[in-house]
Amino acid sequence: MQIYTNDDIRPGVIAGHRIAVIGYGSQGRAHAQNLKESGHDVIAGVRHGGKGWKNAQADGIATAEPAEAVKGADIIAILTPDMAQAQIYTDIIEPNAKKGAALLFAHGFSILYGRVTPRKDMDVILVAPKGPGDLVRREYARGRGVPALFAVEQDATGKARDRAMGYAKGIGGATGGLLETSFKEETETDLFGEQAVLCGGAKELVMGGFTTLVEAGYQPEIAYFECMHELKLIVDLFYEGGITKMNEFISETAKWGSVVSGPRVINSETRARMKEVLNEIQDGTFAREWIAENEAGKGAYDALVKADGEHLIESVGAGLRERMAWLHAPKTAEAA
């Protein structure tokens, strides 16, 4: 796969473009600040007097109500939660966007699952940094960048790909490295990673290990350290140098246990469940159930999240973390 850098992007491809950033949360705030500092004309579409409005003004970003921000914008970056995007598009963007504007997403959910059907005259593009907004901002401020994915779903103007790559460069993505994908690939792999590995899988593995030790009679505090606290140490090694680096830094006993016991926990049955999860993402089952849950008021969602928060590992961990001074120390200028 080719990785694109700043040198691969034609200079000035979005020069003179007005960019409306709709939503000023983690990603919206980072994108707007980085784009402005890259020399672009940026306006935040936020509710007057709200938190986003106040943050944008504090950051020196021009502000307007969303409908006003959309008018005249060449690129409209919709960086709000997935479930809010359909109404925002229908009520605010579609009636106000000028002909030939580009509609930009940071995640393809709304397009892939038919929540948003853009006008035929609009470019539909995606730029998805592979990191949270605060990291996107910090790395840009240091002269570096977080790698990003980009994609084109609809090229009405013949300029969609240039627009996506130019926007990605403006937020620092081309400094980190750009990978070309599709809305389908980005959405399905992102959802799968969240559910099977990063959030769902890791959480259940940690809680399952903790519960196994506690039910066997071990002290909850010891179980917490072994199953949750030390996970960060291993994940940092993965992050910095993959499995190879982990193996360089753990003991031979740990390595032997890893290769003989790991496959007994994550095995063919586990992978079959992962395949089920992926199938439900691919055929739209997950999206339909999540949309229905939102429309029903999120009762099941709230109950399940509440149950996670009330698990023994949470109360034990909260008490232990109170004694970890490094977690409560003020951030240094470098870490900020």
CA distance 131 to 209: 28
Answer for the pair 321, 225: CB distance below 8 angstroms, yes or no. no
CA distance 311 to 211: 10
In the residue annotation, 229 being an active-site residue is answered as no
Which of 150, 56, 167, 23 shows the shortest CA–CA distance to 101?
A: 167
58-95 pLDDT, tens per residue? Answer: 999 999 999 999 999 999 999 999 999 999 999 999 99
If 0-12 CB within 10 Å is exposed, 13-18 middle and 19+ buried, where does residue 51 land? exposed
pTM: 0.93
The residue type found at 59 is D
Q: Look at residue 336 and tell me whether its pLDDT is greater than 70.
A: no
Cα angle vertex 107, ends 20, 68, to 5°? Answer: 20
Break the chain into its structural domains and give their ranges: 3-181, 194-327
Binding-site annotation: residue ranges for Mg(2+): 190, 194, 226, 230
Mean pLDDT of 292-308: 97
CATH architecture observed for domain 3-181: 3-Layer(aba) Sandwich (3.40)
Alpha-carbon distances of 221 from 139, 246, 313, rounded to whole Å? 36, 25, 9
Catalytic residue, from 107, 229, 311, 328: name it.
107
Residue 148, SS3? strand
Q: Which long-range contacts (CB under 8 A, 24 or more apart) does 58-65 make?
A: 59/29, 59/32, 59/33, 60/36, 61/21, 61/32, 61/33, 61/36
Binding-site annotation: residue ranges: 24-27, 47, 133, 190, 194, 226, 230, 251
Which of 235, 232, 226, 233 shows the shortest CA–CA distance to 316?
A: 226
200-232 pLDDT, tens per residue? Answer: 999 999 999 999 999 999 999 999 999 999 999
Which of 207, 195, 103, 196 shows the shortest CA–CA distance to 155?
A: 103
Q: Look at residue 332 and tell me whether its pLDDT is greater than 80.
A: no
Binding-site annotation: residue ranges for NADP(+): 24-27, 47, 133
pLDDT score of 335? 41
Binding-site annotation: residue ranges for substrate: 251
